[in-house]
Structure 1
Amino acid sequence: MKRIALFLTLGFSLIISGAIGQTQNSDLLYRQSLKTVLAEIESRFKVKIKYNDDQVKDRWVNYALWRFRPELDETLSNVLAPLDLKVNKEKEGVYKLKEYEYYRWNVQDGQDKLDQLAKLYHDKASWEKRKALIKPGLYEVQGLSPLPAKPSSEPIITPKRVMDGYTVENIAIEILPGLYVNGSLYKPLKVKGKIPVMLSPDGHWAQQRYRADCQIRCAMMARMGVMAVSYDLFAWGESLLQFKSEDHRRSLAHTIQTLGGIRILDYVLSLKETDKGRVGISGGSGGGSHTVLMAAMDDRIKLSVPVVSLSSSFYGGCPCESGMPIHLCAGGTNNVEIAAMTAPNPQLVVSDGKDWTVTVPDHDMPFLKKIYGYYGRPDLVENVHLPEEGHDFGLSKRKAVYDFVIKNFKLDAALVRDKTGQYDESKCTIEKEPAMYVFGDKGERLPANAIKGFEQLEQVFKASTSK
């Protein structure tokens, strides 16, 4: 018995001393390279994990084999989460290594979060209190409370181009000293009385507002009697005359795009032909995130149509959508709750079956219906779900937008339909990209005071918001 006791005592001492040594010496942390660990995962679980060398270079996993569990998902989480990595499942047995996506939640987690939020209110009064907490926070976290002073310069507008039933002008608006947001202004050829407005913030698709589908959408709006404004993302399009493309993925891009939308709205509402009671906004993808945010923040917007963007489990995949902590306002929120803030203004959510909006009809829409129901108008929030389609702003999505705008702004659909009653987009002119520039083919007309570079923008923004 004495020998057994001595053995146990010595063994315990060795374990303790070994554990102390491991915490003091990183060489004894049983570390393995991430590449080696991923190979072991592939071997044990009979799966394929796709990655490039840069993703695994100089990355190590401490106590690597201790992180393995009988289940693949838990093993992957144990190994990758401390390194701010994750995998996306591409198909059965095939995964792709990704950087941690703070903006993408597990679907069930996102829905659970929305359910938790729904418990904070039960009628119009309690919802209005919640809304009153979120709204000022949206301004504050973006550095827009108060809003910076508006430059006194007049918008720069190019000569009008006359098309079939509409006109197009290119426009640049100075939103901070030396900072311009550029876009295209589509108007009905013949303006009679007051007309509605639709803002069209662009998403992250190639060519942005120069794309054929964007030009067609805005032209159709103009032909049906709407003033449509398509405008660039920050550090995309003509904004690249002032910044580098990588500047788009900085957090301040979020704030600048919001400020740009506000200043564009200021301008169109100053026009004598604008009907202030019929002002809407519709964008797709990243432009859909901007649509939701603008409609929640600015009461001047009376109608909104986020396209292939809204979801309780997706917060926006670019810093221009989620780079500022808007989703931490009032103790935590998400895009669906922010979208509900526009109630009871008409809202159409367009979703599809091949991106993160796939679950919108099952869970997110009932939430929105409930909030609109507090105002007695659940009919004013609608969903067009296209289960066989993917992430684009194709014809079926555009038709959904046309239907909704015509119905709620009380427009004449015959202006844009053919004899069979179908929407006729053939009369819309697709212009070449240079025709849509404000500052010339090579930027030769860029104003002399234009900001050059992100560092200068930061200085100007700080000076403009500290007064």
Structure 2
Amino acid sequence: MWVVASIAVCGSSALIAGDAEKHRVLDANTRPDDVRLNDPKDLNGYFPFEVPKSKQAWQQRQAELKQRVLVATGLFPMPVKTPLNTVIHGKVQRDGFTVEKVYFESLPGHFVSGLLFRPEGEATEKRPAVLSPHGHGGRQYDYGEAKMDDLIASGAELHRESGRFPKLARCAQLARMGCVTFIFDMLGYVDSQQISKDRAHGYAKHNADLEGRENYGFYGAQAEGRLHSILGLQTWNCIRSLDFLESLPDVDPARLAVTGGSGGGTQTILMGAIDDRHIVGFPNGMVSTSMQGGCTCENCSLLRIGTGNVELAALFAPRPQAMTAANDWTKEMMTKGYPQLRELYAMLGVADDVYCEPMLHFPHNYNAVTRSVMYSWMNKYLELGLDEPIEELDWKPLTPEEYTVWNDKHPAPEGGDDYERKLLQQLNERDLAVLSNHSPRGDRETDSYLATVRAAWTTLIGRELPKAADITRTKVWKEPREQFIEFGDLITLNSQGEQLPVISVYPKADKWNQQVVLWVDGEGKSGMFPGGKPDAELLRLVEAGFAVVGADLYGQGEFTNDSDSLTENRTVKNPRPFAGYTYGYNDTVFARRVHDILTVTAWIRSDDHQPKSLQVLGVNGGGPLVAAARVIAGAKMDRVAIDTEGFRFEMLNDWRHVNFLPGAIKYGDLPTLLALSAPNPLWIDGEPSIPAITAKAYHAGSKPDAVSLAKPDVDSTTAAIDWILQSR
């Protein structure tokens, strides 16, 4: 077999003190040299942007990240857009512009509210339009009269009246410049009260009434398993707000822009990543290699794994965008982030279409000085034709009666906990509808459904099959046993800094049949040696000529201090129990274990002796992991035997559970994972019958007989080995 010969996959020999008698690769006091044993990354980490070497490489990365953002925000595939049913009322006049109250339905019964600023007078031609997500503090954010003297003295603001309301000030000036401008309420601010501010932005404590299996709201395992988040809902509201602007008869849909600051800057970044309609962007206060956004409305599971706000902002390229750097988490932008954006834009042939103005003498802001940079940018790229510099003019602030959307004639919609539960059910039904349901009628619908969910699962798993050149084998020990030869090795995936203890069992006396079985157990490689002795089914495989490989996946066996596998995910050091703070930056244990299966698969498959087949066994909790790995590995795993043990992601009550994976429920749960093995041979145990979608997938692939179900009342591992032995 490949491990008997003195070869290694890009490997080298090393003397490491293991414990062959206990089937350990390392000694009891040593852990694998694996970066995943470090503390999990959080929103205050370092998020550099490495510019790809070519346009083609960037386009590939751009597509990958766009899909990540869409999946993470719950918008893949893009939901069907329902009628907005827009209402515009309460028009008031100011010098040079008008203000109107707006509300519409981003989803049936879920309302977006805001203020529409228009240039004064009738439009003689279609006008450019700017969408302005406001950020924290609300659209009516007020510095307060007491602060205005200091703000004016410092140059941060120019006008005592309108300068008190900096978010509205930019809308008023843009309207005076000729732009139709819409500022809409983030969840929980001003007139958007169906989801409260405390729920959307202040979530700090587990709420059992809203986070159970039934009638759930945001933040629990059921919502996270379906990728329903506050950030996702706000992103959808942002998309629908651009729909609203685009629909106005006086708006030129070819000249749209988006600008927001702080939390609104986050929304601007995400809109630039996933929406192709606007031609200009000004994401302020959040393009940074440092802090990525501290609120629950700026984070969600999967969003920033392997990326950060600078690279996400880069997805807007080659469209023009600008921003400022202040004395906050953006203060290093001029040396960390902006040079890379310039490099990317230069590679795309538009070096001058990205700009960052350093304003380090100001704290976090979207003040008059920052706004002046934005006005100039919009003037240039929306082709407004105005003389520069553009002077921001004062205006009389709106009264509560003038800015409040809801009144007796326009009553506020329902909200609260019951509404939240109803909304989450509505989101689930919306997603099921757009996925064309989980029981496609014919082969064509089945193929379409599987192509969509395969793309989604690729993002959920977050890893391709590694390349052989990226894997190093370190030989630790070799031990003759009574029935076989046993090897202890360390397998390192160099690009990721990941290392796995691996045990290989090889038949004696040149009896290897050139076939390999990868044994994946929920307890790691110790599953092959219950009580320290070789499993009877392991011996059956060896006697039949198979080589058998087992590994401790992340969090199993030698990764732990007591050799007992992890039972839950480690979370970041944040007192707020929100999954997005951890899973927005780190893969789950489940995903990491799937990565490890892929690494071992690539190592076996890349051996110089080229085993003629690789069969994979998933038992004792390993079945779902193998099912997920098969989605990526495909035919590299010739035959796969899985005991599901009836597992479903939907069964999990806690997002910390070791088997939790964000989005797994939405994209079909375990039955769809099994279906994605088609048309490759698959044996299933733990199910009363072959799941319907799995059977349909194999039928659509013209291989209905390639999937089989275990007979009842037979030991699962024994039956699986029987099936594997049929391949001899």
| Stretches of 4+ aligned residues off by more than 6 angstroms | 448-451
Task: Give the match for residue 261 of structure 2.
Answer: 284
Is 2:288–2:329's contact at 8 Å kept on the other side of the alignment?
A: yes
**Aligned residue runs from structure 1 range 316-395, under 5 A:** 316-328=293-305, 332-352=306-326, 354-395=327-368
Matched, 1:433 2:400: yes
Partner of 1:164: 95
- Paired with 1:389 and 1:174, the residues of 2 have a C-alpha distance of 38
Alignment partner of 2:252: what SS? strand
d(CA) in 2 for partners of 1:424, 1:171: 25
Tell me which amino acid in the other structure corresponds to 1:456.
K
> Matched residues in 2 for 1:361 and 1:311: separation?
10
Could you say what secondary structure the match of 1:131 adopts?
helix
> Given the alignment of the two structures, is residue 402 of structure 1 paired with residue 378 of structure 2, yes or no?
no
SS in 2 for 1:355: coil
Alignment CA distance shift 1:342-1:153 (3 Å)? closer
Matched, 1:178 2:106: no
2:42 corresponding residue in structure 1: 102
Cα distance in structure 1, aligned partners of 2:74 and 2:112: 18
* 1:335 counterpart letter in structure 2: N
**Aligned counterparts, 1:61-460, within 5 A:** 102-105=42-45, 109-111=46-48, 114-115=49-50, 118=51, 121-190=52-121, 191-205=123-137, 207-209=138-140, 211=142, 212-240=165-193, 242-249=194-201, 252-328=229-305, 332-352=306-326, 354-414=327-387, 423-426=391-394, 428-440=395-407, 445-447=411-413, 453-460=419-426
* Alpha-carbon displacement from aligned partner over 1:8-54 (angstroms, at most 9, x marks no partner): xxxxxxxxxxxxxxxxxxxxxxxxxxxxxxxxxxxxxxxxxxxxxxx
Structure 1 Cα separation of the partners of residues 410 and 381 of structure 2 = 42
Q: Tell me, what secondary structure is at the counterpart of 1:423?
A: coil
| Amino acid in the other structure paired with 1:148 | P
CA deviation after TM superposition for structure 1 residue 269, in Å: 1.2
**C-alpha spacing 1:324/1:357, structure 2 compared with 1 (3 Å):** same
Give distance in 1, aligned partners of 2:415 and 2:190: 19
Distance apart, 1:271 and its partner CA:
2.1
Larger Rg: 2
1:455 to partner: Cα distance: 2.1
Letter in 2 for 1:464: R
Q: Answer whether contact 2:47 2:307 (CA < 8 A) is retained.
A: no
Aligned mates of 2:382, 2:417 — CA distance in 1: 39
Cα distance in structure 2, aligned partners of 1:325 and 1:316: 15
Between the aligned partners of 2:343 and 2:167, the Cα distance in structure 1 is 33
Offset from partner CA, 1:109-152 (integer Å, 9 cap, x none): 433xx24xx3xx21111101111111122112221122333332
Tell me the equivalent position of 1:29: none
Asked if structure 1 preserves the Cα contact closer than 8 Å seen for 2:196 and 2:416, the reply is no
- Work out the CA distance in 2 between the residues paired with 1:148 and 1:130: 24
Q: Cα deviations across residues 321-360 of structure 1 (Å, max 9, x unaligned)?
A: 11242112xxx211111111111111002111x2100000
State how far apart, in whole Å, the 1-side matches of 2:390 and 2:120 are. 22
Q: 1:422 to 1:298 in 2, by over 3 A?
A: closer
Give, in angstroms, the shift of residue 307 of structure 1.
1.2
Q: Tell me: higher relative CO, structure 1 or 2? Use CA pairs within 8 A at least 6 residues apart.
A: 2
Using the TM superposition, give the Cα deviation of residue 185 of structure 1 relative to its aligned residue in structure 2, in angstroms.
0.7
In structure 1, distance between residues paired with 2:413 and 2:189: 18
d(CA) in 2 for partners of 1:291, 1:424: 23
- CA distance in structure 2 between the aligned counterparts of 1:433 and 1:219, rounded to whole angstroms: 17
CA contact (8 A) 1:171 1:182 kept: yes
In the alignment, the residues of structure 2 paired with residue 363 and residue 260 of structure 1 have an alpha-carbon distance, to the nearest angstrom, of 31
CA drift at 1:450: 10
Cα displacement (A) at 1:231: 0.9
C-alpha distance in structure 2 between counterparts of 1:193 and 1:102, whole Å: 49
Q: Partner amino acid for 2:357? A: V
- State the identity as a percent: 30
Distance 1:447 1:357 in 2: 38
Task: Report how far residue 208 of structure 1 moved.
Answer: 2.9
The one-letter code sitting in structure 2 at the alignment partner of 1:103 is L
Q: Normalising to structure 2: TM-score of the pair?
A: 0.46
What is the letter of the counterpart of residue 340 of structure 1?
A
2:132 and 2:183 map into 1 onto residues whose CA distance is 5
Distance in 1 between the 2:103 and 2:301 partners? 25
Q: Tell me if the contact between 2:280 and 2:382 (Cα under 8 Å) persists in the aligned partners.
A: no
Q: Which residue of 1 aligns with 2:544?
A: none
Task: Output the CA distance in 2 between the equivalents of 1:422 and 1:175.
Answer: 35
Name the SS for the 1:159 alignment partner. Answer: strand
Secondary structure, counterpart of 1:184 in structure 2 = strand
Q: CA deviation at 1:413?
A: 3.0
Report if aligned partners of 2:131, 2:183 keep a CA contact under 8 Å in 1: yes
- In the alignment of these two chains, the number of paired residues is 349
* Whole-angstrom CA distance in 2 between matches of 1:224 and 1:402: 8
Question: Relative to structure 1, is the Cα distance of residues 153 and 423 closer, same or farther in structure 2, using a 3 angstrom cutoff?
Answer: closer
Normalised by the length of structure 1, the TM-score is 0.70
Letter in 2 for 1:175: S
Q: Is the 8 A contact 1:254 1:324 kept in 2?
A: no
Q: Check conservation: 2:47, 2:309, Cα contact below 8 A.
A: no
CA offset at residue 430 of structure 1?
A: 1.2
CA displacement at 1:155 relative to structure 2? 0.7
Question: Quick one: which amino acid aligns to residue 430 of structure 2?
Answer: S
User: Residues 244, 422 of structure 1: CA spacing in aligned structure 2 closer, same or farther, 3 A cutoff?
Assistant: closer
Contact 2:84 2:106 in 1 (8 A): no
Deviation at 1:432, TM superposition (A): 2.3
Gaps of 5+ in 1: 1-80, 85-100
Structure 1: distance between partners of 2:232 and 2:382: 30
User: Which residue type is aligned with residue 196 of structure 2?
Assistant: K
Identify if the C-alpha distance between structure 1 residues 230 and 153 changes in structure 2 by more than 3 Å, giving closer, same or farther: closer
Letter in 2 for 1:404: W
> Do 1:243 and 1:452's aligned partners in 2 also have CA atoms closer than 8 Å?
no
Residue 282 of structure 1: how far off its partner (Å)? 0.7
Give the structure with the larger helix fraction. 1
**Shift in CA distance, 156/324, structure 1 to aligned 2, threshold 3 Å:** farther
Give, in whole Å, the separation in 1 of the partners of 2:73 and 2:390. 43
TM-aligned CA distance change 1:248 to 1:215, over 3 Å: same
Distance in 2, Cα, partners of 1:180 & 1:424: 32
Secondary structure class of the residue paired with 1:388: coil
In 1, Cα distance between the equivalents of 2:417 and 2:407? 17
Aligned-residue offset at 1:315 = 1.8
Equivalent-residue separation in structure 1 for 2:84 and 2:74 (angstroms): 23
Aligned-pair CA distance for 1:301? 1.4
Say if 1:270 and 1:388 are closer, same or farther in 2 by CA, change over 3 A. Answer: same
Q: Does the Cα contact within 8 Å between 1:172 and 1:183 map onto a contact in 2? A: yes
CA distance in 1, matches of 2:312, 2:47: 14
